[in-house]
Amino acid sequence: MVEAWYMDEAADDPRLPHRAEPARPVGLEQLRRLGVLYWKLDADKYENDPELEKIRKERNYSWMDIITICKDKLPNYEEKIKMFFEEHLHLDEEIRYILDGSGYFDVRDREDQWIRISMEKGDMITLPAGIYHRFTLDEKNYVKAMRLFVGDPVWTPYNRPSDHLEARTRYLEFLARTA
């Protein structure tokens, strides 16, 4: 099951866990109230997984590819890692399914505090359009992930501040309705 927690304020290596002291764990229900969805799947059978197919059909995830993030496999690795960790939002959902390895998604809560979501093999997450977030590898420096999209992929990150965008406005309205 996914593990999430509030982060400390340390500015050192982002690949470290950065757990707040005292510990402040975050459960799936709190993540759901932020619009973050989570599934645990069998990554060893992702090519023929009826559960994954069911989710893709229900949520209209029609496009997918697989990305491997490590120094040996990702061109412009250092630049991409910095870009992924820059706080940003997207106009569409961000859907990632971890097929191997591990990493962290960080999302902002209602009070603008960072929540770190530890992702490992078999974890699938959907971040809603308009949520500020970022991604980093953990100390293992390796993740292989399936990227899913509704329709054609759009990779554009909008770095903070992007509060003027309609996706952000809709997300804030969602938060107000679910408060």
Per residue in 81-95, pLDDT (tens digit) is 999 999 999 999 999
CATH of the domain at 50: 2.60.120.10
Q: Which two tokens stand for residue 67?
A: 């990305």
pLDDT in tens, 29-68: 999 999 999 999 999 999 999 999 999 999 999 999 999 9
Report how far residue 87's alpha carbon sits from residue 26's, in angstroms, rounded to the nearest whole number: 20
Quote the percentage of the chain above a pLDDT of 90.
97
| pLDDT band at residue 116 under the 50/70/90 scheme | very high
In this prediction, residue 155 has a pLDDT band, given cuts at 50, 70 and 90, of confident
Res 1: pLDDT:
78
Which of 38, 57, 54, 170 minimizes the C-alpha distance to 95? 38
The CA distance from 108 to 133, in Å, is 6
Q: Any idea how long the chain is?
A: 179
Domain count, the chain: 1
**CA 110/CA 116 separation, integer angstroms:** 14
* Residue 149 domain boundaries: 3-178
Tell me if 18 is assigned to a ligand binding site: no
What band does 179 get if pLDDT is binned at 50, 70 and 90? Answer: confident
The CA distance from 170 to 91, in Å, is: 10
Do the annotations mark residue 120 as ligand-binding?
A: no
88 assigned binding-site residue: yes
94 is in an annotated binding site: yes
Q: Within its chain, how far is the Cα of 148 from the centroid? A: 12
